[in-house]
Each structure stands twice: as C-alpha cells, then as structure tokens.
Structure 1
Amino acid sequence: MTNPPRLRQLVIAARSLETADQLAQVLSLGTPYIDPGVGEFGLVNRVYALGDQFLEVVVPVAETAPAARFIARGGEGGYMAIFQTDDIAATRARADAAGIRRVWNIDLPDISASHLHPADVGAAIVSIDEARPAESWRWGGPDWQKNAVPGRLTGAVLTSNDPARLAARWAQGLGVEANGGLVKIADADLMIHPGPVDRLARFRLAIPDAAEAAARAIRLGLEVVDNELRLAGVGLVLEQA
C-alpha cells in the first residue's frame, strides 16, 4: 500500500532573483543550487535546503515561460508544491483515472516525477516525485546535505472561493482524504482558506530563530505582521522550531 506523500519542496515565482537573495538573508540559508535543467521551462532558479526539504525561487527569462504567464495573470506568488511519493506508478494511474492531466513527466535512475495540470488541481502546479533512495533529492543539487540549514516546512495555506472544492481536488491528486478545507499529508497540513481566487498563498516554516528572522526581514525593509513575512506575493509564516 502506498504511504501518504510528504511535502518536500515549495516554489515561489518571482520577477527577480533579488527575491532569492532576500529569502536567503532572512532565513540565513546556505549556498543555493542553481539548476540548469529549469532552462527547459524558460527559467532561472535558486534552490535552498531547509533540513531535508527545499525552498525554491524561479524567475522567468523567456516571455513564453509558463511562470511568466502566471506572473502576468496574478503577480508573483506561490507557483508549485512538490510532494514525495513511494509509488509514482500508482500516482500516475490515479491521476489518469481521475482525468487529471499530467503536463510533464520524467523518469531518471534516481527520481521520477509528474507535474499535474494546475487547471485540473487548482491554485498551483502540483508535482509528485519518487526519489530513489527515498532520502535523496536530485532537485536540491549534489551538495544539498552540506548546504542545508536547520528547519522544516510544516505546511501551506491556499485560498479559494470554494475551499472544500479545492481541498478535494488536491486530496484527489495526492491520494489522501480531505476534511472540509484541510488536507493532511505525512508531515504537513495543507489548509484552504476563503479567498477571491485559487492561490498558493502562504508557506509555513519552522525554524530555530523565528523572531530573529522576522527582525532581519524588517531591517531589509520587508513587511512583517505577526511573524508573517510578505515576500514576492507569498506569506512566509515563521514558526519557532
């Protein structure tokens, strides 16, 4: 039986890599991985390791990039959530049976992945990946363990004018159950709040120095309210680990 997926990576689409620099300064992140593979999607990126999970900033460099269209429609913001499964074949079969389109698939010796169409799940691209071995993560780069800093992703908040509907669609794609506007997975909660549009609105992070990180953000001139940092259209909820 397939185990529930876990949250492995959250992605911001931004207009400039200055967002990545600000994120790194606020969270005292390590050296990022620059993935040349995202050029396939008309992007440049920075990937930072937080424990064995990841924060990524992508910036479109081609007008035809899907991320460029995303920003043109609704501004910078939460662009993708990547989940880890232990059975990619079951994931793909479930998506196909439910009529959820897979817009990108890859099968490499150390990882297989499928991106689910954001029009079919809502709010953002959902990627479901099977890493081999499970503790590895190709998208973090070859040195991510060395560059990781303490912390973890504890969840995400989405908005929708129909939270139960959006929760049900994400739950269906992930192979779990929705409870109203809540989707629980192996190590995180996905909460769907009322809002005008479907949007991946907030990332929740548990870090050892939440108060200090908020102070660093304020010194950089960024908006912080009740330990929630606003950066490139995303709320980063800083929780004390």
Structure 2
Amino acid sequence: MFHRLRQICLVAQDLDPVVAELCDVFDVAVCHRDPEVGMFGLHNALMPLGHGFLEVVAPLAPGRAAAAERHLARRGGDGGYMVITDTDDLARWEPHLAATGVRIAAPLEMGAYRGLQLHPRDTGGALLEINTTRGNTSPDGSAIDDPYGPAGPGWQAHIRTGTVTGITGVRLQAADPEGLGRRWAEILRRDLRPDSDGPHSDGWALDLDNNARIRFEPDRDGRGEGLGGVDLAVADTDGLRRRAAARFLPVADDHVVIGGMRFHIGG
C-alpha cells in the first residue's frame, strides 16, 4: 500500500497564458485537457513533470465556477489551488476521513479512476484530494505503463525531463503553520516534524511515500492561508531562469513565480 504526492493544481483567471508560461519556462508539454472538469464550470490543462503532474484550471466564463472564483478573490488572483495525492487503496480512507470529521466535497469516478475531494473547511490550507486509478501499483509512479486517470491515455509520451525532472514537495502557508500541519498529519496519517531541512526554522513538514514533502510555513507574502509554493527537482536551472527572465517573470535566488505560485528550484 502506498500514498504519494501525485499532482498539483493551480487556478488562474485565464488558462492559456499561464499554461504557455509553464510549458516554455519548464520545457514541458500538455498531455491532456479533461472535458469532465466542465461540470465544475472549468477548463484545464495537465503537464507531466517527471512522473508527477501540474494542472491549471480556470473558469470557462464569469459566474460559471463559483468555488474557483471565490478562491481567486480570497487570495487576490492566480495561485495554488489543490494538492492531489494518489493511493492504491482508496477504500481504507473513507472511514478514517469520517472519523476525523472530514466531509467529502466531491466524490469523483470515471472509468478506472476514483477520487475523493475533501471539504476545504475541514482540512484548511488548500483543497486536498485522495484518488486511485485501477492498475496503478508502482509506489513512485515510474512504471512505463502506470495508469493515472486524470492525465488521460498515453501521458508517458509527453514526459520531458531536460529541465524539470519532478515535483518533490509543496508548501502550504498559514498564520498557524504548526496547527495546519497537525491537521493534515491527522488526515493523512503521517508524523509531523519540525522542518529542519527548510530555509526557515519556523516550519513543519510531513513526508509521503514517493520522497515528497508537504511543508507548512508562515504566511510571508500577505496572501493568507493557502498553497503558496511547489518544490521542483531541476536538471537545468540556468536555462529555466533564462526563459523565466525572458518572459519578465519574477526570478529570485531560489524560486521563480508563474501563475501566482512560487516554484522553488534551488541554486
């Protein structure tokens, strides 16, 4: 049995400009656009980053996607939206979620894929989803025939690893990062610990099965509680920085900002 970080979702006011920036700066390609998200008033694009996925969603039209539009308003624009984890045994999670007082905001099922989107008022921090795809058995998702329903068929053909080789973690920010971390640790059945490997001494972290880390940090940018950062494994930092600068995107010592998200790329 495994439980791993599998996908990160951003929400944007306009889909195509953010997707174009991500594809150019990270040298990745769209593998799937899912018509099923239209039921939520959204359209989307998914890009594989190694064997993880980065998704962007945006409202199809004003007033069509109430939850996403509320999120955009609350956090002052484009930014992080969802943390999506993947398991080979989803059934064991439902009684545990009920016991911890977490409601299912949206049960999802399509073919071999089944997912549980959890109510953000019960989790805090961000929308959290736990899902499974039948036949998905490799803990790190690296098997060449490893299926993943949300990414569509044949997503492996779109993998490019010349610049970004994978997603290694996410960063949730809050006024009380320890409290948020303890809530997520309870929900995800993981141990919370001080984040001694992080850039600051006031953070907390928990680890998932594919060497991915969920960090909990203070709100440093004034945007309030939410998903503020993604940690990436990068093979070509110089090229990534150069392409970001050419698009006049914010570039700092350890991160670039695209779609309102800090992508931490190290030195």
Instruction: Provide the rounded CA distance (Å) in 1 between the counterparts of 2:72 and 2:108.
Output: 25
Give the Å deviation of 1:40.
0.9
Matched, 1:105 2:107: yes
Deviations 1:131-160 (A, max 9, x none): 221121111111210011121100011111
Percent identical residues = 32
Instruction: Provide the rounded CA distance (Å) in 2 between the counterparts of 1:176 and 1:112.
Output: 22
Equivalent positions of 1:1-241 (< 5 A) are 2-3=1-2, 5-17=3-15, 18-62=17-61, 63-65=63-65, 66-74=67-75, 75-134=77-136, 135-150=146-161, 151-180=165-194, 181-186=204-209, 187-195=211-219, 197-239=224-266
Other structure's SS at 1:224 match: coil
Instruction: Provide the rounded CA distance (Å) in 2 between the counterparts of 1:105 and 1:232.
Output: 27
**Root-mean-square deviation (Å):** 1.5
Instruction: Provide the rounded CA distance (Å) in 2 between the counterparts of 1:106 and 1:57.
Output: 18
Deviations 1:60-81 (A, max 9, x none): 1241411111101112210001
Give the Å deviation of 1:109.
4.2
Runs of 4+ that moved beyond 3 A: none
Deviations 1:201-232 (A, max 9, x none): 00111122122111100011101001411122
Instruction: Provide the rounded CA distance (Å) in 2 between the counterparts of 1:37 and 1:53.
Output: 20
Contiguous gaps of at least 5 residues in structure 1: none
Deviations 1:40-63 (A, max 9, x none): 111111100112110011111241
Q: CA 1:31–1:182 in 2, change beyond 3 Å: closer, same or farther? A: closer
The answer to whether the Cα contact below 8 Å between 1:210 and 1:227 also exists between their aligned partners in 2 is no
Other structure's SS at 2:251 match: strand
Aligned residue pairs, count: 238
How high is the TM-score relative to the length of structure 1?
A: 0.94
Give the Å deviation of 1:91.
1.1
Give the Å deviation of 1:118.
1.0
Instruction: Provide the rounded CA distance (Å) in 1 between the counterparts of 2:238 and 2:124.
Output: 33
